[in-house]
Amino acid sequence: MNTAADQCGGSDVECRDDSGTDKCLCKTTHYDASGTCTTKINLNGGCNVAHTEPCADANSYCKDDSGTKCLCQDTHFEKGGACTLNIHPDFSCSATDQCVTNAECDTADTNTCVCNAGYTATPTTTPTMCISNGEVKLSTLLYIYVVPIIVSMFFLLR
């Protein structure tokens, strides 16, 4: 008996539903390299940015960084050969590049992520991030106060 799966030639290809149609596609452990199913690339392995999703870790991408290679997305850091979500303030860490944007790992004292100077943790948002302390710029104040007054005057003078 010849099944749909049997019709896909090669051990790197499988029959899968693609928008309601069965198609022979690369297995999830492989990517399409110009018509050839090729094994996905591990972190720091060389890759070609022209190919779609060549990296094995779902939270990595092919980046030109002194030569193209699979690296973790900016929201993740590498730990044990896998991309791990960046650590939020007040959680344990062991290196600066593990923390969320605008935070660093306090390896000298607490071994936790601490917001940089001028930033505070946001306990009201989930997950907690480090945001600016809220210094309001003059241009923002002008927009908030002056623009509504001018618009109101415009309608009154009509």
| Residue 1 binned pLDDT confidence (cut-offs 50, 70, 90) | very low
Instruction: Provide the H-helix boundaries in the chain.
Output: 138-157
pLDDT at 82: 92
In DSSP terms, which residues pair with 72 in a beta bridge? 60
Amino acid making up residue 84: T
DSSP state of 88: P
Q: How far is CA 87 from CA 42, 65, 124, 128, in A?
A: 22, 23, 17, 9
pLDDT at 135: 53
Higher-confidence residue: 38 or 145?
38
User: Measured between alpha carbons, how far is 140 from 154 in angstroms, rounded to an integer?
Assistant: 21
Is pLDDT above 80 for 100?
Answer: yes
Q: Are 60 and 72 in contact (CB under 8 A)?
A: yes
User: Measured between alpha carbons, how far is 120 from 138 in angstroms, rounded to an integer?
Assistant: 21
Least confident of 62-76, 104-118, 133-147: 133-147
| Residue 136 binned pLDDT confidence (cut-offs 50, 70, 90) | very low
Q: How far is CA 79 from CA 83, 141, 143, in A?
A: 6, 44, 45
Least confident of 75-79, 131-135, 136-140: 136-140
For 64-95, what is each residue's pLDDT tens digit? Answer: 877 899 999 988 888 888 999 998 999 999 98
- Whether the pTM exceeds 0.85: the reply is no
- The per-residue pLDDT of the chain, averaged, comes to 82
For 12-52, what is each residue's pLDDT tens digit? Answer: 999 988 888 888 999 999 998 888 899 999 999 999 888 87
pLDDT at 3: 53
pLDDT at 53: 86
